[in-house]
Chains A and B, each alone.
Chain A
Amino acid sequence: MSVTDLEKPSVEQARATSFYEASARARIRLLLDPASFVEFIGPEQREVSPHLKLFDLPEQFDDGIIVGRGSLAGSPVFIAAQEGRFMGGAFGEVHGAKLTGLLRAAKELKSIPVLILFDTGGVRLQEANAGELAIAEIMRAVIEARTAGVKVIGLIGGRSGCYGGGGLIAGCCSALAVSEQGRIAVSGPEVIETNRGVEEFDSRDRALVWRTMGGKHRRLIGGAELFADDTVQAFREAALELLETTAGFGIDTLNAEQSRLEDRLQRFGACRDAVEIWAAEGVADAASVPALPADQFIELADKVRRIARDAR
């Protein structure tokens, strides 16, 4: 063994990296099989947003999203990863179009699944109309791909969470894995507070944010199929499991989802806080859930709620 081999961390060590802390590029590199990733329209092509100049804002050569193909445990996958550190991972015209194109190819090829690593605050306000429309096009493209038999898996554990239209795209995916940090919502805490007042939602109350929008709550109400620890390895394993277990898409899926959501409204519609929902769901010591380590939480969640794999 040479000195460089000793210094180089093994793939396993590298995959123990925090998913939350990693950049979008590192997430892709570590999640996929080593050296398997090929990017489409990479930063060297400098396809930047044509709209940020108007606001004197810096551009990024990949417009905050990386799309391409690679392999996962030997099988081909398409993959997209948003960079939450550029403009909050928000959807603009170029950013969104890259994902739309990837999904359209998946629809035509039918056999290659798509992984979407969400990390987004939603629409990029400086190009709000183009961003909103890009999200509408992505939602349509996800459903068309799923109708063609493609599995579209969302992985959520980045610093910007998955907000606004990102939350709607996530809801269109075949299945989701989420970590504790991976918040999923439509209106962000600040948006609710600004519009409805601090009595409705105190955005500085971080515990409230986590238990209302965070990964544990989403897993417990069935908003995400799997809860993952905050490592790239955990997300890789979650992606493999979801690719294995996720059912197809059609009218039966939608009818099952309608029942699933009606049931949720009926059971929890009057609850005022997540802890009440968890207690109603049968968690014995509901108040202790936020403090549980990932492995203990996963064990608990598997006990109290089996997630339907054919109702999204």
Chain B
Amino acid sequence: MTLDKILTSLFPDGHDVKNDGGVLLGSGTLRSGARALVIGVADRTALGVDEAIRLSGTVLGSIRNGSGPILVIVDSDSQRMSKRDELLGLNEFLAHLAKSLIHADIQGRPTIGLLYGHSAAGAFLASALATRVLVGLPGADPAVMDLPSMSKVTKLPIEVLEEKAKSTPVFAPGLQNLVQLGAVHVTWDDKVSLADQLEKLLGNMGDARDRRDALGKERGGRMKAADIAERVRELAMQTR
């Protein structure tokens, strides 16, 4: 689905989202008449210090002056891999964006990620994975690491990796694998109005809690994470 089609289908009553060099900023009118803040990354743009600071600034401005949910729409590359970005402390800029989104969510501005294209590594962590609920659209193609790079690191041929990927969702790229792991909560149907699907989701957000490990267990993609975290939590709670 193209970005224009997504925005039109999400906000039939209008939006003012602008794509400025791959940085998405604006807002849209929800079915309820309320406004939602929209930020994001488009055109498979890499997320570097210059992009991240604009996105975090917009989220913080909206916490000061706005209300309603925050949508994070993503088709990005990985983090920008450059000497300049690392020199300037890219880890802080990406963490700051994630912190701003998580803080907004905890403070009553529910965050929804909408993954419609690619995303990877640090860019994925700072944007889509920093929301409470992540939605996948058909055609979404997330990859923590692509198979050719993984082949280089693991020194295994791509054919072998492809074969292994059939038996486990735990390492290979793709939307369905991330659904199974609990990273992507729900996938939407592009033949149905996205505004309707968004309205339904907003009515069913639950509390601001991270349930991704429990989802991963329910779906059989991550059998250990939820149990290990819970066991450590219980042991630690005995500390007084």
Q: Does B195 contact A (CB under 8 A)?
A: no
**Taking beta carbons and an 8 Å cutoff, which residues of A are in contact with B?**
40-41, 47, 50-51, 54-55, 67, 69, 76, 78, 93-94, 96-98, 100-102, 104-106, 108-109, 112, 123, 125-137, 139-141, 143-144, 147, 164-165, 167-172, 184-187, 191-192, 194-196, 200-201, 212-213, 217-218, 221-223, 250-251, 254-255, 257-258, 261-262, 264-265, 268-269, 271-274, 277, 312
Per CB-CB distance, the 3 closest pairs between chain A and chain B, nearest first, are A171-B95, A101-B232, A167-B91
Q: CA of A281 to CA of B65 in the docked complex: distance in angstroms? A: 34
Which chain B positions have C-beta within 8 A of A135? 125
Do the beta carbons of A54 and B95 come within 8 Å of each other? no
Stretch at the interface among B12-20, B21-29, B55-63, B66-74: B55-63
Tally of contact residues, B, Cβ under 8 A: 80
**Distance to closest chain B CB from A194 (angstroms):** 8
Do the beta carbons of B60 and A100 come within 8 Å of each other? no
Which chain B positions have C-beta within 8 A of A134? 225
How many interface contacts (CB-CB < 8 Å) are there between A and B?
279
If A196-B81, A258-B60 touch, whether A93 touches B95 (CB-CB below 8 Å) is: no
Do the beta carbons of B60 and A254 come within 8 Å of each other? yes
- Which residues from 208 to 240 on chain B have a C-beta closer than 8 Å to any C-beta of chain A? 210, 212-213, 216, 222-237, 239
Do the beta carbons of A55 and B156 come within 8 Å of each other? yes
Do the beta carbons of B96 and A185 come within 8 Å of each other? no
Which of the residues A97, A164, A265 comes within 8 Å of B224, measured between beta carbons? Answer: A97
Which of B64, B152, B170 is packed against the most chain A CB atoms within 10 Å?
B170
Do the beta carbons of A129 and B178 come within 8 Å of each other? yes
Do the beta carbons of A265 and B87 come within 8 Å of each other? no
- B213, closest chain A residue (CB): A137
Which of the residues A54, A105, A168 comes within 8 Å of B232, measured between beta carbons? Answer: A105
Do the beta carbons of A125 and B229 come within 8 Å of each other? no
Which chain A positions have C-beta within 8 A of B178? 129, 133
Q: CA of A136 to CA of B183 in the docked complex: distance in angstroms? A: 9
Which of B53, B87, B130, B177 is packed against the most chain A CB atoms within 10 Å?
B87
